[in-house]
Amino acid sequence: MTATLTSPELTEVEGKLTERRKSLADIYAEAGAELDMTKVKSIDGDSQAKVEHIRALDGEINDLATKREELRDIIRIGQSVHDNPEDERGTKGADADDHDSKDSIADQILKSEAFRHGKGMVDLDVDFKALMTTAAGWAPEATRGPRVADFATTPLDVLDLIPTGSTNQNAVTYMEETTFTNAAAETAEGAVKPEATLVLTEKTSPVRKIAVTMHVTDEQWDDEPQVRGYINRRMPFMVRQRLNTQIITGDGIAPNLEGALNVTGIQTQAKGTDPVPDAVYKAMVKVMTTGQAMPDAFVTNPLDWQDVRLLRTADGIYIWGSPADAGPERIWGLRTVLAQGMTQNTGLVGDFGNYSELAVRTGITVEVGFVNDDFSKNLKTLRAEMRAALLFYRPAALCSVTGI
């Protein structure tokens, strides 16, 4: 019968370890889930003193656990030598003997008090020579999804106000009737007939280019399937976003387009002391009378519309509808376009559908090529661009509202 080696020192260390663990568990039980140190009566002193005691006890437990593992290793080696003196370690080796001298992990779990009674933690007698962590082993694999969360940027808000046409020229030239004198009148027999006057003036709107470029490495372009679709979506958006801004605020100085607010002949209505709705209505009347057009939209900055949307009567009733409702994005029946590119404190009333046009010479294209030393650096240059002319055929069909 094979003798089993024992160690009084191991028995003593295990006893101390069990006692220290119980002491620490009792302290945590006193403190409760909130770890309220005022509830701990087994330790004297204030909260800081009690925390220091817990830290010291935890350190002692770690030292005892380390000591226990060292003693167990010594006993296992000695047991192997004792059982297999002919080769000092035996043909089964220390690891095999280790499995023979104690229960397997499954056996330890099945025999544990915690498992049999259905509560508590199972204390396993298992040796790990090195801790395997995500740093020393496999990091958890995470599969990246297809979605790209776009950067928060100005949306396209006025593009659909402007009808779109096409041109095959580098400028759009048209005739504007600048004088219309209708002399038609009732005429007596044999009298001189009144003479009308019509004057036409040639107008030209040049085609302008809006473009953007960026560099991409060959590795990114070739190895990442998603990059092409992403770039083909974002670069054209950049071009349209710039066009969206030019439609309202472009200054007309080459190579800029001439936006609505800078068109020669546009009408103006100052808010003055009027409420904003009154000023907008007066601008509508100017478009209808002087401009002889029917306004179809009111363009305003969201921060200015906020003031209109929150208008209340003296007794606190919201004029543009209850906060519980979405509320109409309209004023005097006009569609209200909230444009972040609109100059703040300025609005724009206009008949965009009848008297404006975006004449496209070349639609948005995205092309790939080499620039300078791209080839030697394994780079690709991507270019997105479009060419178009912006026309406002009747400037008086527009009226800005200032000071809102």
Task: Give the Cα separation of 24 and 20 in Å (integer).
Answer: 6
The strand pair at 379-392 and 208-217 is best described as antiparallel
**Each residue's pLDDT tens digit, 250-263:** 999 999 999 999 99
Binned at pLDDT 50, 70 and 90, residue 325 comes out as confident
Residue 380 near residue 318 (C-beta atoms within 8 A): no
The pLDDT tens digits for 363-394 are 999 999 999 998 999 999 999 999 999 999 99
Residue with tokens 């949306």: 155
User: How does residue 205 score in pLDDT terms, banded at 50, 70 and 90?
Assistant: very high
pLDDT in tens, 41-72: 888 888 788 888 887 887 888 888 888 788 87
Query: What digits encode the pLDDT tens for the residues 147-197?
Result: 888 888 888 889 999 999 999 999 999 999 999 999 999 999 999 999 999
In the sheet that 346-350 helps form, which strands lie side by side, from edge to edge? Answer: 267-270, 398-402, 346-350, 297-300, 334-338, 330-331
CB count within 10 Å of CB 94 equals: 16
Residue 129: phi and psi, rounded to 5, are -75, -30
Closest CA to 350 of 389, 296, 309, 390: 296
pLDDT surpasses 80 at 130: no
